[in-house]
Amino acid sequence: MRQPAVILVTLVAMLGGCAAARGPGASAQTGALEHVLDEWATAWSSSDVEKLLPLFTDDVRYEDVTFGVTTQGKAGLRDFAITAFGAFPGMSFEIKSRFVGDNGMWGALEWVWHGRQVKDFPGLPATNRPFQVRGSTIVEFRDGKISRNRDYWDLATYMKQVGLIK
C-alpha cells in the first residue's frame, strides 16, 4: 500500500511542477497552438491546399507513417495534399482530442478520418467504398506553426472497410 501512495505523491508533485513551470503567457500560447491543431483538421477536411499550407513552416517535414511518405518543405506537402485531396474528395477529420505541451514545442491530435477513395493512391487501389479510421498526429511547433508532422493510422482497418482484405 505504501508504494502506490509514494507513486501518487510523486506524480502529483511532477504535475504540479509542470503547471508551475508554465509561466505567464503560456496558456495564451497553448491556446493559440490548440487553435492551429483545430485548423489542421479543418484544412484537411476542406480539400483546399491554400487553407492547409499556412499552418506549416516553409521547411516542414511531413510524414504519413502508414503510407510510408515523407515530404520536405511546403512544395512537397503541396504535392502530397493535392494527391490526397484528389484521391479522397470530401474527406473529413473529426478531432477526438488534442494536446499541446506546456513548453509549446509539441502537440498531438487524436482523430477519426472519414471518406471514400475514388482514385488510386500510390500502393492503394480505389474501391469507392466509405471508411472511417482512427488515427493520431504528433506535431512539433516553431514560431506558431507546425514544423514537423507525423500521422499514424490503422491501414488494416481501412483495407477491411473498403474491401481490399477480409
pLDDT tens digits for 3-50?
Answer: 443 333 333 333 333 433 344 455 778 999 999 999 999 999 999 999
SS3 16: helix
pLDDT for res 91: 98
Domain 26-161: give its CATH code. 3.10.450.50
Three cell numbers written together for 127: 474501391
Q: How far apart are CA 71 and CA 77, in angstroms?
A: 6
- What are the domain boundaries of the chain? 26-161
Q: How far apart are CA 28 and CA 26, in angstroms?
A: 5
What pTM value is reported for the model? Answer: 0.82
As a whole number of angstroms, the longest Cα–Cα distance in the chain is 59
Residue 82: how many other CB atoms lie within 10 Å:
13
pLDDT for res 25: 52
